[in-house]
Amino acid sequence: MKGGALFPVRLRYTKRGKVRWISHRDVARAFERALRIEQLPLAFTEGFSPRPKVSFGLALPTGYESDAEYLDLELVSEVDLDTLPAAISDALPSGIDVIGASALDERAPALMDVVTSTEWVVTVVASDGSPLARGALTSTVDDALQMPVLDTTRHRKGREVVEDVRPVISRIDVHRDVEGNDTSCTMELRTQPRSAKPGDVLAAIASATAISGGLAEAGVLRTHQWIERDGARLEPHCADTRPRVLVARDLNKGTPDVRRDHDTGTLAGVAHAAGGTGPEQGN
Amino acid sequence: MSSLWPRIEPLLARVEKPARYIGMERGAQTPVHRPQNVSWLLVYPDTYEIGLPNQGLQILYEILNERVDAAAERAYAPWIDLEVELRARGLPLFSVDTHRAAADFDVIAFNLSAELVFTNVLNLVDLAGVPVRNEDRNATHPIVLAGGHCAFNPEPLAGYVDAFVIGEGEEVVGEITEVVGAWPRAGRVDREALLHELATIPGVYVPAMYDVDYDGAFIREVRPRYADVPERVDKRTVADLGEWPYPKNQLVPLVEVVHDRLNVEVFRGCTRGCRFCQAGMITRPVRERPEEQVRTMVREGLRRTGYDEVALTSLSTADFSGIDRVVADLVTDQEGTGGVSLSLPSLRVDAFTVGLASEIQKVRRTGLTFAPEAGTWRMRQVINKLITEDDLYAAVDAAYSQGWRRVKLYFLTGLPTEVDEDTIGIADLAKHVVDIGKQYSKQASCTVSVGGFVPKPHTPFQWFGQNGVQELRRKIGLLRDATKGTRAQVKWHDAQATYAEGIASRGDRRIGRVIERVWRAGGMFQEWSEHFDLARWLDAMAAEGLDPDWYVTRHRHHDEILPWDHITAGLHKDFLWNDWQASLQAHGLPDCRWTPCYDCGVCTDYALEHVVASPVAPAGGSQGTGQDLSAGGSAPVRFLGRVGTGS
């Protein structure tokens, strides 16, 4: 951060619906165009080919949805953070909505380095797409989590690599529908020192337990990213952000939606995404 | 009429680049389908990445959706992985806008910008669930339409496409909409009656309305079947580009595509008269967009799209009358905004052009491309690309001296009257270019890109017998030997694909069955080297009892009826023949904007005029005129006083 004073901002955004089929790189390009359309006072890198100073968090695999994506950007002058989310969202493809903007500490570490785990809701079916039997996922997950090693085969740079995903799993909670069938699970997966996709974890569980009919993801939604620090868990829009007074509007309803972060005492400018799980504070 | 999305989406996890199939681009229209509306599916018969930027398709997409009686959506060829999944489940070709089945549209319209996509056209009609041969369609099937440059020889697809649009589509799509719109109200029973009526729209060619008689291998006669169907179909031309500021909402794709930038068309047509260039011949006359409109389209386009690059497109952008002013203004406009880059594709070869390029590209001067097209002055006179060696070396010197490090040169080989000296001449030019570069930088390099020449309909070279595969390979070999050990790197196009293109580009109706056989044998995506196999084409020709060399390498006679003679771009056949004879004598023909009219036929027959913003040749524009007219001189064209200078 050289030059004059900069105003770093952290944005939280969603990736929902059809747009989930675009890649992380495509999302980055869509943001670059949206920031230019909105003519934000962007800070640029030095050199022959100046790029806006935007840094993204962990990549979301293509095809997965999310209510908890983050990016940091640097501005050369202050902007109204209340109106910023709606303005940028207007210029983004439908399904990518900025749902929060917070002023960031100037020396905030990069998102990639500080996020320690991610939380997912995974809709699970059998390999042929049929629903799972009552209790099938619960017992399979219980069995799998007893195992010291959960190997899965991944394709990496054209080679097949066997990786143990057991160290990545922080917790898995199985959910049932009203009729008692196992339909989905919440996974919290560590990102440090390395991470795994929910699909890889599911494949490892299916293969280790040899569950008949197999397991397949029928929909994956990232609900949270967590920064574990001094025993507390924070969503990135509450970590390393500067205290400020603000009332974030619910983007869809236009009603005030003030949320107090109990850990930091600051108010986080976050609003709900349509149909998404609302942002929550970690405890 | 319902969306296929719920059935398509589960397939996307299994295919490459799923974002090709979701639509959602900024600028995408929300088509309103009503029973009384004519629905158009505009199809580019290659991948999304190649097809999305196509400006013709985007222009028609907007114009049709602006109409109250029409709705238009887009489709692109699904890649092979998705097609396998679709066919396995009985799912059809679909639109990317609302994921409707292709057969639910009233009109399926293909853009034909290259001959090697013909097999994809058949495949997509089949994937749509529509009979591939037009004779098998009935009143329940959509009308299959095609337009674009390759429609100027529609005969190879005459048995597959119901109607072709010859020339520019802006106006005619509305006329077609009205005719098709009246059809359902008339009971929608008689497909023949609808086709007959379409055939009476100027610029629309309906092959089923014409009988072709042969005399052995040759065509004896092409005869309309009804008195009100024209003997010759004239192309459509928009008289004033200023009235058509499209696309107004250029699509911004979510995935990377070719030409991924704002594109603003600055003029149509070209009068330099390069004899190999079909685009230059069939798009005459020159019609420039008013300078002020160019500025507005750039400014508003950048604001709306968020792009950081804009291209001013045409067949020779440095020839745009106001180019230096427009460039200067754009560069000033963009200062301090974090860098919008301007690109000028299709530049001519001279120092003025390099001056423009350096105005635009203040930093990152890496590569600059020129197209001298041929290796010797004699050869360039034959093809009428009147660039002298001095022009080229001055341009290259200017480029290297101003910091560019890589120069790319485009050439054609297999040209009429070409001898080995001309081929070696390419190497000599390249070597000299490297030598110039070395004076400025140790890293200076030169890439030579060589394509095999395919003679095209409606050009003076339409009578020329193309070089065969062996001959083209021999010439490329000569060139590679001649550049060995130098810093000129040679890249070339596959001579076998050039041969197949030759079959399709000057083919007649009999070639249709060959294309069908190639498709049925699995020959799709023929522009993609990994999917191309000449054996499929040769097998298909043999199965149809046709001699490929008769179509490809044979010189045509003066008196021969060419398969596309009943289609016209306005160029008199005599003019083309005389120009062909002149080329054989290595006689060049300067740009007709700055010299007396050669009476090619376009302006006079169509009561059109070249529309330019300035009465004098563009600054530095000596190329192609043989003399420097930039200081003054009169132009034999109508001068529109749009920039305040009066006429």
Q: What is the pLDDT of residues B211-268, one digit of tens each?
A: 999 999 999 999 999 999 999 999 999 999 999 999 999 999 999 999 999 999 999 9
Query: Nearest C-alpha of chain A: how many angstroms from B44?
Result: 21
Q: Between these two residues, A135 and B74, which has the higher pLDDT value?
A: B74
Q: Is residue B317 part of a domain?
A: no
Element (H, E) at A161: strand A159-164
Q: Alpha-carbon distance B94 to B12, whole Å?
A: 14
Give the residue on B whose Cα is nearest the Cα of A32: B306
Q: Alpha-carbon distance B279 to B183, whole Å?
A: 34
Q: Looking at the predicted structure, is the pLDDT value of residue B569 above 90?
A: yes
Give the residue on A whose Cα is nearest the Cα of B306: A33
Which of A33, A62, A129 has the CB atom closest to B252's CB atom? A33
Q: Is residue B216 part of a domain?
A: yes
**Chain A residues touching residue B5 (CB < 8 angstroms):** 18
Which of A21, A50, A129 has the CB atom closest to B19's CB atom? A21
Q: What local confidence, expressed as pLDDT, does residue B589 receive? A: 85
- Render pLDDT for B447-469 as a digit per residue (tens, 0 to 9): 999 999 999 999 999 999 999 99
A21 touching chain B per CB within 8 A: yes
Query: Nearest C-alpha of chain A: how many angstroms from B407?
Result: 20
A52 touching chain B per CB within 8 A: yes
Portion 83-122 of A in contact with B at CB < 8 A: 91, 93-95
Cβ contacts of residue B79 below 8 Å, gap of 6+?
B15, B16, B17, B20, B47
Residue from B254, B303, B309, B335 whose CB has the most chain A CBs within 10 Å, to mutate: B254
Inter-chain touch A33–B22, beta carbons under 8 Å: no
Q: b/e for A62-77, b at 16 or more Cβ within 10 A?
A: bbbbbbbbbbbbbbee
Residue from A35, A37, A75 whose CB has the most chain B CBs within 10 Å, to mutate: A37
Would you call A68 helix, strand, or coil by DSSP? strand
**Chain B residues touching residue A41 (CB < 8 angstroms):** none
Q: What local confidence, expressed as pLDDT, does residue B622 receive? A: 41
Residue from A32, A36, A220 whose CB has the most chain B CBs within 10 Å, to mutate: A36
CATH number of B43's domain? 3.40.50.2300
Q: From residue B579, give the alpha-carbon distance in Å to each of A56, B379, B576.
A: 60, 15, 5
Give the residue on A whose Cα is nearest the Cα of B301: A37
Give the residue on B whose Cα is nearest the Cα of A46: B338
- Render pLDDT for B162-183 as a digit per residue (tens, 0 to 9): 999 999 999 999 999 999 999 8
Both tokens assigned to B377: 């002055």
- Of A274, A277, A243, A273, residue with least CA distance to A260: A243
- The ranges of chain A with pLDDT < 70 are 1-4, 243-283
User: How many inter-chain contacts (A to B, CB under 8 Å) are there?
Assistant: 67
Domain holding B71, by residue range, is 5-234
Give the residue on B whose Cα is nearest the Cα of A129: B10
Inter-chain touch B26–A33, beta carbons under 8 Å: yes
Which of A21, A49, A91 has the CB atom closest to B306's CB atom? A91
Q: Is residue B195 part of a domain?
A: yes
- Parallel, antiparallel, or unpaired for β B143-147 and B163-165? parallel
Query: Nearest C-alpha of chain B: how many angstroms from A133?
Result: 22
**Chain B residues touching residue A199 (CB < 8 angstroms):** none
Q: Between these two residues, A235 and B623, which has the higher pLDDT value?
A: A235
Tokens 């001699």 belong to residue: B547
Give the residue on B whose Cα is nearest the Cα of A21: B19
Domains of chain A: 1-112+236-274 (3.30.70.580), 117-226 (3.30.70.3190)
Inter-chain touch A33–B307, beta carbons under 8 Å: yes
- Of B505, B496, B501, B513, residue with least CA distance to B556: B505
Is the confidence metric ipTM above 0.95 for this complex?
Answer: no
| Cα dihedral B446, B447, B452, B457 sign | negative
Query: Nearest C-alpha of chain B: how many angstroms from A180?
Result: 26
The average confidence (pLDDT) of chain B is 90
B19 touching chain A per CB within 8 A: yes
Q: Is residue B595 part of a domain?
A: no
Q: What local confidence, expressed as pLDDT, does residue B365 receive? A: 67
B279 touching chain A per CB within 8 A: no
**Chain B residues touching residue A129 (CB < 8 angstroms):** 10
Q: Looking at the predicted structure, is the pLDDT value of residue B638 above 50?
A: no
Q: Is residue B510 part of a domain?
A: no
Provide φ and ψ at B525, rounded to 5°: 45, 50
Sheet with B309-313, edge to edge strand ranges: B262-265, B309-313, B341-343
Q: Is residue B89 part of a domain?
A: yes
Q: Is the link from the previous residue into B6 a cis peptide, with omega within 30 of 0?
A: no
B366 touching chain A per CB within 8 A: no
Q: Angle at which helices B55-66 and B172-185 pack, to 10 degrees?
A: 50
Q: What local confidence, expressed as pLDDT, does residue B614 receive? A: 60
pLDDT band, very low/low/confident/very high, at B483 (cuts 50, 70, 90): very high
Give the residue on B whose Cα is nearest the Cα of A39: B303
Inter-chain touch B26–A48, beta carbons under 8 Å: no
Q: Is residue B143 part of a domain?
A: yes
- Render pLDDT for B415-451 as a digit per residue (tens, 0 to 9): 999 999 999 999 999 999 999 999 999 888 899 999 9
Q: Is residue B325 part of a domain?
A: no
- Render pLDDT for B104-159 as a digit per residue (tens, 0 to 9): 999 999 999 999 999 999 999 999 999 999 999 999 999 999 999 999 999 999 99
Q: Alpha-carbon distance B406 to B367, whole Å?
A: 5
Which of B22, B255, B338 has the CB atom closest to A44's CB atom? B338
Q: How many distinct structural domains can be found in chain B?
A: 1
